[in-house]
Amino acid sequence: MKSHPRKKAKWEEEKREDRVKWRQLEHKGPYFAPPYEPLPDGVCFFYDGKPMRLSVKAEEVATFYGRMLDHEYTTKEVFRKNFFNDWRKEMTVEEREVIKSLDKCDFTEIHRYFVDKAAARKVLTREEKQKLKEEAENLQQEFGYCILDGHREKIGNFKTEPPGLFRGRGDHPKMGMLKRRVMPEDVVINCSRDSKIPKPPAGHQWKEVRSDNTVMWLAAWTESIQNSIKYVMLNPCSKLKGEKAWQKFETARRLRGFVDEIRSQYQADWKSQEMKTRQRAVALYFIDKLAGCCSLRVEHVQLHPEADGCQHVVEFDFLGKDSIRYYNRVPVEKPVYKNLQLFMKNKDPQDDIFDRLTTTSLNKHLHELMDGLTAKVFRTYNASVTLQEQLRALTRAEDSIAAKILSYNRANRAVAILCNHQRATSSTFEKSMQNLQTKIQVKKEQVAEARAELRKARAEHKAQGDGKSRSVLEKKRRLLEKLQEQLAWLSVQATDKEENKQVALSTSKLNYLDPRISIAWCKRFRVPVEKIYSKTQRERFAWALAMAGEDFEF
């Protein structure tokens, strides 16, 4: 029998040179936020109790604050101060002469106007909703796709962010500042030289048009708050993104062949005569166990000879990315603890712990240990290995689907704890748990009733023995099985919800766990992949679905 070669998936096609990301790239450019629509005449801003008509620019910024009037942000002093400073910059000279205190500003009518608009959207007719859906789809078709190396690929974020007030995460010092409107003159377009260059909106021009096939972005601009560059990128399910994700996890898999030697070396270096080598060795230990450390200062760390029943405990407490507090207590190896004491000795709180080390020198050393090795590769490796080991330990083939899902989420939870992916308990947690417990109680009553009905049907069939009574008996048995399955799912949800109320599972699941581990587990234990990954996530991990058999090992 003649065999036909398997058609290659997009991510398995002929590879380009390492630095070359594409040969052909054509797109329509980003879709810009629509222009501001002034408030209707009947909606007023008040200052010091008197109505005041604002200039268009000042009014637009006022609406950003008015929309948020019932939000906690508008009670924060930093937010209010930053907003007022930036708002005054948008005012006319005459407006600045009048408006000098935020406390005298009344945005109530503006707020009510947007609340009413939101309420009106909720009661749109089916036809109106369908029209909006079609408009969004038309926009997606026009701006949401590009041509990349002959493939029509979906773009991830084809819209520029609308102007508004910056919120930030945690207690960000820039919260309340004005996020300015992105204009075509701010945007750099990236496409192939022989492609049809996207047209800017009428009356505008692009900042620059370039053809750089060593990068993956289609358009870029610098945002006004933190001067960071924003990009229009491909959708995670695209060929290029799938290829990049595959390569990322393959790099992490390669670490398995190096990790024992790397660990032995950095452990030996804890006793080095050279301070720089010692600091690098402890830094590598933290990268391996905690994924990062280079910028730690003395004030960020407290050392405890004993805490929480463990010896040699390091307490971390500092503001990390996006001003989010990172707090963790970690027991460490005794030589690591002793070295930290040495590194911190005779230093001021503001001094660096790893003062002999730079990010550049550490990254260079990582690449010398293994080509492509980074702190993120370590994190990905440790997370994926932990998931695989936990799944192997927790899953039983004879368990129900619901019990297997619970085991999967517990394995995922172990990874999230390893990666310190914490979250605050939701303000709606107690209420949603009460609702879930109510559903469980109702379902238990339904199961008890169905069980009684089944006993009755069984007795009637025993007495009558005819086809009709047998049919009723089977119907009652199927109903009981269905209700018991529903009860099991509800119980799993309740357990899951309680165990994970302060743990964020999705970050590690989508970014640090090789999806082939989860897909192989699903195939091995006959768990529908849809129970683990949503439709969007399955599209994102299409490459893994195509590759992973039930015997895949990370």
Instruction: Return the residue matching tokens 């600091």.
Output: 279
Catalytic residue (choose from 31, 145, 512, 533): 512
Looking at residue 426, the DSSP 8-state letter turns out to be P
- CA–CA separation, 438 and 444 (whole Å): 10
Alpha carbon separation from 106 to 3, 46, 83, 84, 100 (Å, rounded): 76, 5, 15, 13, 13
3-state secondary structure (DSSP) of residue 31: strand
Alpha carbon separation from 305 to 302, 311, 337, 353, 481 (Å, rounded): 10, 6, 9, 18, 55
CA dihedral 319, 324, 325, 330 (to 10 degrees): -100
Q: Supply the angle between the helices 56-67 and 108-122 in degrees, to the nearest 10.
A: 70
In sequence order, what are the residues at sequence separation of 6 or more whose Cβ sits closer than 8 angstroms to the Cβ of residue 398? none
One-character DSSP codes across 282-323: HHHHHHHHHS--TT-BGGGEEEEEEETTEEEEEEEEEE-GGG
Query: ∠ at Cα 245 (159, 188), nearest 5°?
Result: 35
- CA–CA separation, 539 and 544 (whole Å): 10
Q: Supply the angle between the helices 375-394 and 515-524 in degrees, to the nearest 10.
A: 10
Strands across the sheet containing 229-232: 208-210, 188-190, 219-222, 229-232
User: Around Cβ 360, how many Cβ atoms within 10 Å?
Assistant: 9
Active site (annotated) includes residue 326: no
Q: Which residues pair with 315 in a beta bridge?
A: 302, 329
One-character DSSP codes across 141-171: HHHSEEEETTEEEEBS--BPPPPEE---SSS
Exposure class string for 226-246: b at 16+ Cβ within 10 A, else e: eeeebbbbbbbbbbbbbbbbb
Asked if residues 113 and 207 have their Cβ atoms less than 8 Å apart, the reply is no
Asked if residues 420 and 328 have their Cβ atoms less than 8 Å apart, the reply is yes
- CA–CA separation, 182 and 224 (whole Å): 9
User: What backbone phi and psi angles, to 5 degrees, belong to 317?
Assistant: -155, 105
Helices and strands of the chain, counted as H and E runs: 18, 15
Exposure class string for 253-271: b at 16+ Cβ within 10 A, else e: bbbeeebeebeeebeebbe
Q: Provide the annotated active-site residues.
A: 512
